[in-house]
């Protein structure tokens, strides 16, 4: 896909928590897959203007606040944007990561927002009551929430993305939108990879039902720039501070998750 801009006048600066993949990772991946230069500002040493302090300056109450509520935040010159999907849809045409026509862009946005919904539901399995509490303070509720997520919601989302691939026959089922790699393909890769980290048992149970999605995930992982990025120190590891967390007690068997938790689905 062609790029709208080959050499932006200002550097792309990403502001996101430095020690987690989280939502910032969807944006890092877009830059990395496109081979576009960017500065992951908070991963720089504090002495060079990095660290969490750089993010705080852009948040409400911060000295450089211009309207963002939470990271990830993108700065390009005077333009400061937040909301992951907003940032991705802004960057995608500039990085050659979305088809040029309006209908395809709108469709990519729709899929990206649905992926964001799934990511939020995955997050809410370990923080069902409050993001301001520790997981350890909401474990019984987390268990209930995970039972519903793994027992009903996860399958529904996964089969939806698989169906999108099946019906994009012109791409041979290889892309969610259009005929080439787009930012939504990258975001599906990241989501599936994160889900496999957090819910290995559940995801193994679903793999056979979503062959096109798994093939897409593996193709993205093997793209030379993405593979180099994954092997690099620029990609923070998955951990239990991010969105996708491995708590074995939440990795329930989808077939029995609801029953095991004493839950019913309406």
Q: Which residues bind ligand GSH (CB under 6 A)?
A: 22-23, 70-72, 83-84, 116
Reduce the DSSP state of residue 132 to 3 states and report it.
Answer: coil
Residue 83 vs 171, nearer CB to ligand GSH: 83
Shortest distance in whole angstroms from residue 166 CB to ligand GSH: 27
Element of type H or E holding 220? helix 211-222
Residue 84 vs 190, nearer CB to ligand GSH: 84
The beta strands (E) that lie in 159-253 are given as none
Residue 72 vs 178, nearer CB to ligand GSH: 72
Reduce the DSSP state of residue 228 to 3 states and report it.
Answer: helix
Cβ proximity of 29 and 226 under 8 Å: yes
Shortest distance in whole angstroms from residue 14 CB to ligand GSH: 12
Residues in the chain: 266
Residue 82 vs 213, nearer CB to ligand GSH: 82
Shortest distance in whole angstroms from residue 91 CB to ligand GSH: 14
What span, in angstroms and rounded, lies between the C-alpha atoms of 53 and 264? 45
Measured CA distances, 97 to 27, 124, 201 (Å): 12, 29, 32
Shortest distance in whole angstroms from residue 73 CB to ligand GSH: 9
Residue 5 vs 117, nearer CB to ligand GSH: 117
What span, in angstroms and rounded, lies between the C-alpha atoms of 32 and 248? 31
Shortest distance in whole angstroms from residue 58 CB to ligand GSH: 12
What span, in angstroms and rounded, lies between the C-alpha atoms of 123 and 241? 11
């Amino acid at each position: 896909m062609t790029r709208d801009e080959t050499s932006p006048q200002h550097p792309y600066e990403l502001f996101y928590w430095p020690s987690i993949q989280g939502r910032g990772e969807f944006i890092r991946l877009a830059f990395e897959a496109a081979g576009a230069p960017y500065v992951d500002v908070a991963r720089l040493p504090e002495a060079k203007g990095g660290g969490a302090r750089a993010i705080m300056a852009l948040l409400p109450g911060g000295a450089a606040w211009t309207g963002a509520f939470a990271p990830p935040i993108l700065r390009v010159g005077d333009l400061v944007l937040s909301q992951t999907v907003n940032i991705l849809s802004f960057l995608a045409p500039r990085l050659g990561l979305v088809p040029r026509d309006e209908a395809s862009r709108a469709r990519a946005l729709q899929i990206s927002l649905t992926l964001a919904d799934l990511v939020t539901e995955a997050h809410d399995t370990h923080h069902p009551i409050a993001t301001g509490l520790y997981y350890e303070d909401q474990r019984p509720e987390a268990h209930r929430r995970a039972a519903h997520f793994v027992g009903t919601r996860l399958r529904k989302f996964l089969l939806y993305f698989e169906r999108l691939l099946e019906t994009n026959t012109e791409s041979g089922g290889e892309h969610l939108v259009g005929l080439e790699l787009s930012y939504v393909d990258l975001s599906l890769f990241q989501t599936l990879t994160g889900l496999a980290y957090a819910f290995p048992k559940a995801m193994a149970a679903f793999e056979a039902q979503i062959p096109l999605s798994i093939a897409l995930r593996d193709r993205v992982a093997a793209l030379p720039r993405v593979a180099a990025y994954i092997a690099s120190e620029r990609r923070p590891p998955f951990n239990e501070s991010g969105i996708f967390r491995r708590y074995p007690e939440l990795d329930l068997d989808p077939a029995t998750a609801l029953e095991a938790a004493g839950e019913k689905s309406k």
